[in-house]
Structure 1
Amino acid sequence: MAQKKAHEVDGWLRRPDPETRIILIYGPDRGLVAERTQTYVKQAGLDAEDPFSSVRLEASELDAAPGRLIDEAGTVPMFSSQRLIWIKGAGTHKNLADDVKELATNPLRDSIVLIEAGDLKKSAPLRNVVEGAFSAMALPCYADESRSIDGVIDEILARERMTMAVEARQALKANLGGDRLATRSELEKLALYCHGQPQITLDDVTVTIGDVSGLSVDAAVDAVLAGNSEAFDTTFSRIVSSGSHPFVVLSAAMRQFNQLLALRGDMDANGKSATAAVASARPPVFFTRRKLIETAVQRSTSVTLLRALERLQAAVLLTRQRPDLAVATARQALIALLVEAARARR
């Protein structure tokens, strides 16, 4: 059958079979799906940015126009030997599965169909079609295991020319996994915090990822989302006066805004309401915070959330460059986000 087990996927992606013309990358780990899709494009030597040799389409629009995928696959590339048809957001789309089935029975010559999908059951039509086809390949993406996490850690350490103490790695791995996008986000924060250091220590991991201030940190971030300046000032002051580095609040805020960005993306891509997106979030949102998160994601856009994350990242870097201004820097960045949240609620 045209499929790989989860532990075989990375090996296949390092040397993809040139005879494979339809590739389905699916699974509950959305971040890993996106990462492996990019890996395939690179390893296959395809140019996803060239409008003459590639096209990106949403599964919903193809499902609403039966036969369009077949027409796209039959288009001869103008200035390259292969044409990439990159489909995003695939799921239980019957017409799309039917078109893929027809393409699978008549092997493509000049086109490659690359499909990104969420978690597909074994009985899903699209998965059945790809797994049963000779010129196709289904690649599952599940939550990171210990070995996978080590690989991502080593990749970022090599890029930053850093090493990591053994106890720091153990503590780090205990707080990672479940979603590749979230894992990379945490590691990028750690690399940013430790920029310029030769080695990452346990203290670095504890400050950036460890739950140092517990519920008080969550309360500070919730106050930012709610636009509640009084609650934020009280909670933030308590955290700093207890001896905790202000980075712990910035770190918690970055995690929260990354989650909001993922939820907003789910709403935009799948037409979900804020309530439905939050209800299906993984890991789940604690029930006492659901209304707050629903309101925050409803009143945000992907653009505003990305801008918020850029502001937080800039603040993190400045706290490293000017430790004497760390408290003021963190407070200013968080208050700016709080003010924007308060304005959005008016």
Structure 2
Amino acid sequence: MTALKGKAVEAFIARRDPDIRAILVYGPDQGLVRERADRIARQVSPDLKDPFNAIELADGDLKSEPSRLADEAVQLSMTGGERIVRLRTAGETAAPAARLLVAGIESGRLKPTGVVLIEAGDLGKASGLRKLFEGSKAAVAIPSYADAPGDIRALALAAARAEDLKFDDDALELLVTLLGEDRGVSRSEIDKLILFKGPKSLRPGPATISLEDVRLMLVDTVADAAGEAAAAAADGASARLARALH
């Protein structure tokens, strides 16, 4: 498959093609990369902390043994069901292991019993890892770029609707202006705003998010959070990135 674009991305994530056993999710928006990867992974193994069906690897695990990625892909689960094998990579470091995996699947020598999911940062058009997944019929590449205003608007409205909230028009417009650089930051700030208004179980009825609510809760914090997340992602500081996004 080639790189998925537009509506094809959401369609694939919502209903994963069971014939695709190697998936690359990459892009500059690391919050969106993580969110999409989590959604795909949960379709394979609902419990992402399951020690038997949810396996996590890092570049260091493959440095001296590139074949391990392919080996993990064909391991049988001790408890039944499919296994999700996740690799978070800095980029081209994972290319040798990924080539062994994809070549094995394409030739029929490898019969994966689960799904291999690789998460990476921004990969240029010349990236060997990106070219590998875009050029293979046995794999798929999912680019993850910063949300457009319409994406943020839809995200905010859906979250508010779930808690019986609505936005004043000017409040929603300011929110859309403030957010969008990182999906993790955006979702976290929207959740913070909704928590400020109170969950619907603790309110007597519907409520409205005003312009003042957005100014009070978000204006002073969004820029700092986005900057921290971007710096942490660039430095490869996973612990600091997690703190920035949550």
Q: Quick one: which amino acid aligns to residue 103 of structure 1?
A: G
1:29 CA displacement: 0.4
Identity %: 32
Cα–Cα, structure 1 residues 158 and 41, in superposed 2: closer, same or farther, change >3 Å?
A: farther
Residue 198 (structure 1) aligns with? 207
Choose 147-156 or 36-45, whichever is displaced more.
Answer: 36-45
Alignment of 1:156-305 (within 5 A): 156-195=159-198, 196=203, 198-210=207-219, 251-252=220-221, 256=224, 259-260=227-228, 263-264=231-232, 267=235, 269=237, 302=240
In the alignment, the residues of structure 1 paired with residue 164 and residue 142 of structure 2 have an alpha-carbon distance, to the nearest angstrom, of 31
Cα–Cα, structure 1 residues 124 and 2, in superposed 2: closer, same or farther, change >3 Å?
A: same
1:257 CA displacement: 5.9
Residue 27 (structure 2) aligns with? 27
Alignment of 1:109-188 (within 5 A): 109-188=112-191
Residue 48 (structure 2) aligns with? 48
In the alignment, the residues of structure 2 paired with residue 309 and residue 91 of structure 1 have an alpha-carbon distance, to the nearest angstrom, of 21
2:100 aligned with 1:99: yes
1:98 CA displacement: 2.5
Can you list the C-alpha shifts for 1:158-215, whole angstroms capped at 9, x where unaligned? 23221111121112111111211121122122222222571101121122233xxxxx
Cα–Cα, structure 1 residues 150 and 72, in superposed 2: closer, same or farther, change >3 Å?
A: same
**What count of residue pairs does the alignment treat as equivalent?**
237
Gap regions ≥5 residues in structure 2: none
Secondary structure of the equivalent of 2:57? strand
State which structure, 1 or 2, has the greater radius of gyration over its C-alpha atoms: 1
Alignment of 1:318-329 (within 5 A): none
Pick 1 or 2: higher relative contact order, CA cutoff 8 A, min separation 6.
2
In the alignment, the residues of structure 1 paired with residue 53 and residue 44 of structure 2 have an alpha-carbon distance, to the nearest angstrom, of 13
Secondary structure of the equivalent of 1:86? strand
Secondary structure of the equivalent of 1:115? strand
Can you list the C-alpha shifts for 1:96-139, whole angstroms capped at 9, x where unaligned? 33223333323533121011111111221111111122221111
1:269 CA displacement: 4.8
Residue 279 (structure 1) aligns with? none
Q: CA RMSD in A?
A: 2.8
1:63 CA displacement: 3.5
Task: Tell me if the contact between 2:102 and 2:139 (Cα under 8 Å) persists in the aligned partners.
Answer: no
In the alignment, the residues of structure 1 paired with residue 126 and residue 75 of structure 2 have an alpha-carbon distance, to the nearest angstrom, of 31
Can you list the C-alpha shifts for 1:1-40, whole angstroms capped at 9, x where unaligned? 3321144311221111111101111100000000011111
Can you list the C-alpha shifts for 1:288-325, whole angstroms capped at 9, x where unaligned? xxxxxxxxxxxxx749x95x999xxxxxxxxxxxxxxx
Structure with the bigger percentage of helix: 1
Task: Tell me if the contact between 2:188 and 2:245 (Cα under 8 Å) persists in the aligned partners.
Answer: no
Task: Tell me if the contact between 1:21 and 1:108 (Cα under 8 Å) persists in the aligned partners.
Answer: no
In the alignment, the residues of structure 2 paired with residue 265 and residue 139 of structure 1 have an alpha-carbon distance, to the nearest angstrom, of 19
Cα–Cα, structure 1 residues 104 and 133, in superposed 2: closer, same or farther, change >3 Å?
A: farther
Task: Tell me if the contact between 1:64 and 1:95 (Cα under 8 Å) persists in the aligned partners.
Answer: no
Can you list the C-alpha shifts for 1:260-313, whole angstroms capped at 9, x where unaligned? 46645654558xxxxxxxxxxxxxxxxxxxxxxxxxxxxxx749x95x999xxx
Q: Quick one: which amino acid aligns to residue 200 of structure 1?
A: I
Task: Tell me if the contact between 2:91 and 2:120 (Cα under 8 Å) persists in the aligned partners.
Answer: yes
Task: Tell me if the contact between 1:97 and 1:125 (Cα under 8 Å) persists in the aligned partners.
Answer: no
In the alignment, the residues of structure 2 paired with residue 126 and residue 265 of structure 1 have an alpha-carbon distance, to the nearest angstrom, of 19
1:145 CA displacement: 0.6
Cα–Cα, structure 1 residues 151 and 43, in superposed 2: closer, same or farther, change >3 Å?
A: farther
Q: Quick one: which amino acid aligns to residue 116 of structure 2?
A: V
Residue 89 (structure 2) aligns with? 89
Q: How does the TM-score come out when normalised to structure 1?
A: 0.61
Q: How does the TM-score come out when normalised to structure 2?
A: 0.83
In the alignment, the residues of structure 2 paired with residue 83 and residue 35 of structure 1 have an alpha-carbon distance, to the nearest angstrom, of 19
In the alignment, the residues of structure 2 paired with residue 3 and residue 258 of structure 1 have an alpha-carbon distance, to the nearest angstrom, of 27
Secondary structure of the equivalent of 2:92? coil
Secondary structure of the equivalent of 1:52? coil
2:3 aligned with 1:9: no
